[in-house]
Each structure stands twice: as structure tokens, then as C-alpha cells.
Amino acid sequence: MEYVLKNGIVYDPANKVAGEKKDVMFKDGKIVDSVSADAKVLDVTDKIVMPAGIDPHAHVAGPKLVVGRIYRPEDSRKGVTHKTDILRSESGFSIPSCPSTGYRYSRMGYGTVVEAAVPPLEAKHTHEEINSTPNLDIVPLSLFGNNWFVLQYAKQNQIEDLAGFIAAWLRLAKCYGVKIVNPCGSEAWGWGMNVHGLDDPAPYWDVTGREVVTALAKANEMLGLPHSVHVHPNDLGHPGNYPTTVSTMEALKDIEKNSTVRGQTMHLTHAQFHAYGGTSWRDADSGADYIADYVNNNDHVTIDVGQVTLDETTTMTADAPMEFDLYKLSGLKWANKDVELETAAGIVPVIYSGKAPVNSLQWAIGLELFLKVNDPWKVCLTTDHPNAGPFIRYPRIISWLMSNERRQEMMDNREVHPWSHRRTSLASLEREYDFNEIATITRAGPAKIYGFQDRGALTPGFNADIAVFDINPNDIDPSRNHEAIEKGFSSAMYTIKDGEILVKDGEIVKVVKSHTLWTDVKGMEEQEKRVMDRVMPDFTKYYTIKFENYQVHDKYLPNPIVTEVQAGK
């Protein structure tokens, strides 16, 4: 089937197309540069056309999510909708059911989402949920930062073996890349403790977060994985944590990049939660300058923000000690899920309110990061869904980024507490994003950061993953019309995935199966074998499951997209 999207205003930052009126053509699921006269014409005159959205960091599938759904029926109840001829009924606000997750991203013009935290022991669970989430390609990242074998390799600085371990475990868990969460801290949580800063060792293991992050980053580059290490540093959510964040970035500064498809050697995730000054919540203030300055002056780091949206939501992270602290603050119900030899997780409902000083400060720090990082290719739009807010709020965040007037209004009329401007410089930041920058932080940038070679741009040969929005960029002042911007980006005029029209006029018209992206490393066979010989005795002794039953069989990935990587190349 051939199509022409006719007369749209195209934003395709990867191809340096910034608001040009032109046609976009696709055939048999791929973008092409010409079609025959039989091509079906979709008239999108003066509408915004972009590549489909890519969410570089969210929690959408897996054991943490399901704990959230099991123990928060009051959240599930919020989003319940009636089934239709093609859609199943939906549920949930902050932790939607799998079908709802697929539908809602699809309606916003998204096509790809990164699931940022997979414990290998429970990877089958994540893959089961991915398969139940339609209309999206999902990119799972595997957790390595507190894995017992990783702790040992890092301590002994055995980078080559660690690389072999990563290669083997990405294949076992069928994941795309390396995620690190509070390195050594989640292991400390096995004893109800945490680590503080980058140099506080995990109890009993005598290894520090610095050693773990560095070793994993080196191994990641030795393999030349398409994505860099994806780092959630220590001290998340603690006032005065920005120095830890900066030292984590500095620790990886000299690691040589071994990839042509991405620019960074470290992705710092949900930077907002790691950009606090002060010593306690009493005197906390913004540390956004320090993070933004570092990112502006160094090219080895990219970030996503984790913008607070001021909603009631459900926080969930492998940073379990932080979640327990949150629980003690709020007194609401606490869930926790530690995974043997691998990681921990905590889950707590949180009500972010513009009336609350701390939440307002967090809101402002997130926006500061967006506005202070100069190069939009280095910063991505996320809410760390559902941690800082549900992903359905992305359009609202876009409206804030495009309108200084709206931001000032919120501060003036006290939709947010005065801490938002007293303790940050948000009020003085006049920068407003344009549509091309929005396309960069939601599409082109994330694609580059993940080294995607098939999406995130309207390049001939790429997947025909396209979003059209009912906004005429030449006829709207986003600064004045934040509501129209939010509305426009909330419901795509078209969402096209692999050349199929999934959404039309904000309604889903077609439901398709999702794909799962994972990375298959070649050329480490010898190291992998050495690693397995070493790991197996401990695996047998300390896991409670047989190795044969640990791995994710192919049957859990009915629609895989495999990125093959030649290690070291």
C-alpha cells in the first residue's frame, strides 16, 4: 500500500527539516521518496507532521507495574472506559492496564517506548506485558547496577568478563541495553540500608557506586552497544544531591565512546530528581544550573527530565530505599519488591500538588532543566512515567515549554507554590521551545540516544512511523494558546505505525501487535563461555530457580526486532 501525506508542515530534525511544507510518502511500511500515481492521498494541509514519538524512559511493563495495579484498584478505577468495537475497555490513570497504555500512547502520536527497568529474573513477566500492550514498539533495558555478579566484576575491574556477562544477560533477558539504578544502594536495601553518594560501598561487597558505574560504562563501550549506559544515580530525591549527580557524570567523562550511532557515553535519566540543592527539604533549592552547565559543557552526557506534572500518581523505582523514605513522609501504602541477586523495587502513591512547596520546587526544577540545556538533542521529554506524573501529560508539558506566558501565569496566580520561583530561576527564563525543538526532544533526540537506525526520522527506508497533529504552526501562537497546544498534541490527527493508520482524528482505528527490541551481541562467545563457567556454581547455589527456567525463551517475543552488534566494532 502506498500513501502520500500531502501538504503537511514537516518537522524532521534528523533530516534538518524544520517546518517545511512538503509531502511525506510511504510504501509497504517504510518511508520512501517517491510513490506511484496510485498512492492514496491523505490531505494534511498545514498540519504538523513529525516522526512518531519515542519515549526514552518510562515504566510501562513488568513486575513493579503489576504490584502497582494489584494494590491500587483506586487508581485502576479512575480510567475505566467502555469497550468499543475495536478497543478493549481501559483502566487506570497513573498505572494503566497494558491495553490502555498502548492506546493512550498511540493517541498521542507515539510509536516507541523504552521500558526502563527489567529485572532479568522476572524478564518473562515484562515480555508478557509487552505482548499485551498494543500499537507500540517497546525497548526493555535490563538492570545491572546491583547485580551480584556485576558487583564482583566491578570490584575486580574485570571489564572484559563484565562485557561478556552483559552480552550473555541481554540475550537471556532479551533486553536492549544496560540500566543502572542507585548502584550499590539497592543492594544495601537488602539490609534496609542505602548508600550515600558515589563512594559509599555496598555492605559486605566492598565495592562503590563509582566502581560499578565506571566498569559498566567501560564494558558497554567495549561491546559498542547501540545505547550508552542508562544511569539513575545515587541519592535520588534527596535535597543536596546534585553533587552526586555531577560526580557521576564526571566519573564517566574519560570513557571512550565506541559507537557511531549515538553521541553520548552516559544517559542521565530523570535528571530533575537528581538536581536538588540545600541540605534538607526545609532549605532545598534548585541545583538545575549545575546539571545544565555540565551537560552544556560536555558532550558525553544526554539527559531526560522526569518532569513533575502535579498529579496524584504512583512512584515506582528500583531505588527501593528512596521509596521507603517517601512512604515515611506520606504515610500512604508502601509496596516493595526485592529481586534476589539483582535489584530491589519500591512503589508508593504520591500526590504532587501545586499547593505543596516541595512539589512546586520539583516542578520548576524540571522546567529549568528543559530551558537551560541549550542543545535540544541532549535533553528528552519524560515524566519518568509514572514517577513524576503519567505519560498522558506530555502534551501539557509541551504547552509549558512553548509558553513562558503560561509558566508565569501559573506562578502568578499560585497554581504553584512560590517556592517555584523563589528557590529557582524559572521566573527569569523566557526561552520558549519551537515546534522543531519539540520534535527533537520527543522524537529525533531519543532516537539518536538509542542509536535507532529505523525510526525517529522521516528518512527513506526508515519505518513509516509518523504522527500528524491538527495544529497549523503558521497560524498559532503557542505562547498565547497553551490550551490549544495541549489539546493538539493529546490527540493525533493521524498516528501511523509501520505504514498502518492506527489513529485518525484522535480515535484509534486499528490495533496491532507490538514489537520488542533487543540487542544480540556477537563476537564475545569466548568471554561469555568463561563467564558462564564462573557464574554457574553461584547461580545454582544462590538463585531459587534453575538456569534452564531462568532464561526468556523466544516464545515470549513473537515480534522481535533484533539489533545485532559486533563487539568491539
Partner 1 sequence: MKTITFNQKKTSQIALEFDELIPDEVYSWEKADFEKYMVPIGNSRFPLTDYFDIEVEGSAESPEEIKMILNGDYGRVKYIGTKMGAGEIIVNGPVDLHCGSQMKGGSILVNGDAESYAGREMEGGSLTIMGNTREFCGCSYIGDWRGMNGGTITIHGNAGKQLGECLSGGSIYVKGDCDILAGIHMTKGFIQIDGDVTRWPGGQMKNGDIVINGELGRLLEGFVQQEIVENPEIDGKDFSGKYIKYTGDIALNGKGRLWLDAEKNRHLLY
Partner 2 sequence: MANYEPPVTDYESIVENCTCAFCGCNCDDLDYLIKDGHVVGVRHACRLGASKIMEDMDQRLLVPMIRGEDGELAETDWDSALDKAAELIAGAVRPIFYGWSETSIETMHHGLELGELVGAVLDNQATICHGPSLQAVQNAGYPISTLGEVKNRADMCLYTGSNAMNSHPRHMARYSTFPRGYFRPRGRFDRTVVTLDPKYSDTAKMSDIWVGFEQNGDYEFYNAIRAVLKGKKLQKEFISGIPKEDVEELAEAMKNVQFGALFFGLGLTHTLSKQRNIDIAIQMVADLNSYTKWILMPMRGHFNVNGFNIFMAFETGFPYGVDFARGYQRYMNGETNTIDLLTRKECDVFMVIAADPGAHYPGGAVKHLAEIPVIQVDIHWGPSTEIADVVLPGSFVGVEVGGTSYRMDGVPIWMKKAIDKPETCRDDEWIIKEILERVKKIKAEQGALASK
Q: Which of 8, 13, 51, 99 binds partner 2 (CB under 8 A)?
A: 99
Residue that has been written with the C-alpha cell 526508515 in this structure: 462
Binding mask 508-547 for partner 2 (x = CB under 8 A): ---------------------------------xxxxxx-
CA 249 to chain centroid, in Å, comes to 18
Distance, in Å, from the CA atom of 268 to the CA atom of 303, rounded to the nearest integer, reads 5
Q: Which amino acid is present at 153?
A: Y
Residues 137-166 that bind partner 1 (CB under 8 A): none
Q: Which of 45, 73, 375, 472 binds partner 1 (CB under 8 A)?
A: 73
Q: Which is nearer to Zn ion, 267 or 455 (CB)?
A: 267
CB-hemisphere CA count at 13 Å for 419? 20
Residues 102-141 that bind partner 1 (CB under 8 A): none
From the list 57, 59, 54, the residue with the least C-alpha distance to 386 is: 59
Helix-helix angle 209-223:148-155, to 10 degrees: 90
Distance, in Å, from the CA atom of 564 to the CA atom of 518, rounded to the nearest integer, reads 9
Distance, in Å, from the CA atom of 62 to the CA atom of 55, rounded to the nearest integer, reads 17
Q: Which of 21, 83, 414, 529 binds partner 2 (CB under 8 A)?
A: 83
Q: Which is nearer to Zn ion, 350 or 493 (CB)?
A: 350
Beta-carbon count within 10 A of 278 CB: 18
Please report whether residue 557 would count as binding partner 2 according to CB under 8 A: no
Distance, in Å, from the CA atom of 209 to the CA atom of 197, rounded to the nearest integer, reads 8
Binding mask 321-340 for partner 1 (x = CB under 8 A): ----------xxx-------
Please report whether residue 559 would count as binding partner 2 according to CB under 8 A: no
Beta strand 2-12 pairing with 177-181:
unpaired
Distance, in Å, from the CA atom of 14 to the CA atom of 7, rounded to the nearest integer, reads 20
Give the number of residues written for the chain.
569
83 binds, among Zn ion, partner 2, partner 1, none (CB under 5 to 8 A by kind): partner 2
Query: Are 344 and 368 within 8 A, CB to CB?
Result: no
Distance, in Å, from the CA atom of 220 to the CA atom of 567, rounded to the nearest integer, reads 10
Q: Which amino acid is present at 354?
A: G
Residues 55-74 that bind partner 2 (CB under 8 A): 61, 63, 65-67, 69-74
CB 560, min distance to partner 2, A: 17
CB 390, min distance to partner 1, A: 17
Please report whether residue 80 would count as binding partner 1 according to CB under 8 A: no
Binding site for Zn ion (CB under 5 A): 116, 384
Please report whether residue 431 would count as binding partner 2 according to CB under 8 A: no
Q: Which is nearer to partner 2, 124 or 396 (CB)?
A: 124
Residues forming beta bridges with residue 343, ordered by sequence position: 339
Q: Which is nearer to partner 1, 331 or 537 (CB)?
A: 331
Grid coordinates representing 281?
527539604
Q: Which is nearer to partner 2, 62 or 446 (CB)?
A: 62
Distance, in Å, from the CA atom of 385 to the CA atom of 566, rounded to the nearest integer, reads 33
Residues 356-415 that bind partner 2 (CB under 8 A): none
Q: Which is nearer to partner 1, 72 or 124 (CB)?
A: 72
CB 187, min distance to partner 2, A: 11
Q: Which of 24, 173, 184, 335 binds partner 2 (CB under 8 A)?
A: 335
**CB-based burial label for 257 (10 Å; 0-12, 13-18, 19+):** middle
Q: Which is nearer to partner 2, 27 or 125 (CB)?
A: 125
Distance, in Å, from the CA atom of 437 to the CA atom of 11, rounded to the nearest integer, reads 9
Distance, in Å, from the CA atom of 152 to the CA atom of 208, rounded to the nearest integer, reads 11
Residues 231-250 that bind partner 1 (CB under 8 A): none
Please report whether residue 207 would count as binding partner 2 according to CB under 8 A: no
Residues found near partner 1 in the complex (CB under 8 A): 71-75, 77, 331-333
Residues found near partner 2 in the complex (CB under 8 A): 61, 63, 65-67, 69-77, 79-83, 88-89, 91-92, 95-100, 121-122, 124-125, 128-129, 132, 148, 189-192, 204, 324, 327-328, 333-341, 344, 347, 541-546, 548-549, 553, 555
